[in-house]
Amino acid sequence: MDGSRTSLDIEEYSDTEVQKNQVLTLEEWQDKWVNGKTAFHLEQGHQLLKKHLDTFLKGKSGLRVFFPLCGKAVEMKWFANRGHSVIGVEISELGIREFFTEQNLSYTEEPITEIPGAKVFKSSSGNISLYCCSIFDFPRTNIGKFDMIWDRGALVAINPGDRKRYADTMLSLLGKKFQYLLCVFSYDPTKHPGPPFYVPHAEIERLFGKICNIHCLEKVDAFEERHKSWGIDYLFEKLYVLTEK
């Protein structure tokens, strides 16, 4: 496509069927951590979140912020340092331990009684709790409602066939006057099988439109040299803000 990377007005592929049968198991995600295949981790944090963070927070403190499929996201500390309570879910215990180690945070661990075999890791300061379990098991903890969700690398990593279940899980965790911050990618899904999976605007409307107002706040060129190995020649990242209707 000529000039595909010079314009942010790429026509989206409305056909998401091409990736619908793609599946990664939880074990495969755990293996990515063990084998160091975590190029999705942003050591400096997400720049769009950094840019808009103060606008999102509006000077508030004491918000409950949820990080689905959190990995070792440094952004969790950004919120905690501003006086907010952070709760994350991650299937990789290694990823969770690396977060606390790399952020120089002491922590405790304990079993999650509602989910056999699962653990929760809590910072000694008490404002970061990371649950090592499946995102679909997490609601069994009866953790309560959240003011904000930071969904970067989560919806785009969920198997396409599980998206409706995932979206319903996220919506069940949101409190009143919520902000759901969602990052997705646009690229040619016929050239790369994912993950990250391709999630067009129409899919976001299908998943969240009945409950949420959906606003695309910003769209940026995210193409890097490493993406050439995916067989694609453009990659855009979009930041959406979903709010209560």
Query: Annotated binding site: which residue ranges?
Result: 29-40, 69, 90, 134-135, 152
CB atoms within 10 A of CB 189: 23
What is the identity of the amino acid at 180? Answer: Y
- The letter for the amino acid at 75 is E
**Angle of the 201-208 helix axis to the 163-172 helix axis, nearest 10:** 50
Cβ–Cβ under 8 Å, residues 149 and 89: no
Q: Residue type at 136?
A: F
Question: What's the CA gap between 125 and 80, in Å, rounded?
Answer: 10
Maximum Cα interatomic distance, the chain, rounded to a whole number of Å: 56
Q: What does each C-alpha distance from 148 to 14, 58, 85, 241 come to in angstroms?
A: 28, 12, 10, 10
Residues of each annotated binding site for S-adenosyl-L-methionine: 29-40, 69, 90, 134-135, 152
| Helices of type H across 82-212 | 93-102, 163-172, 201-208
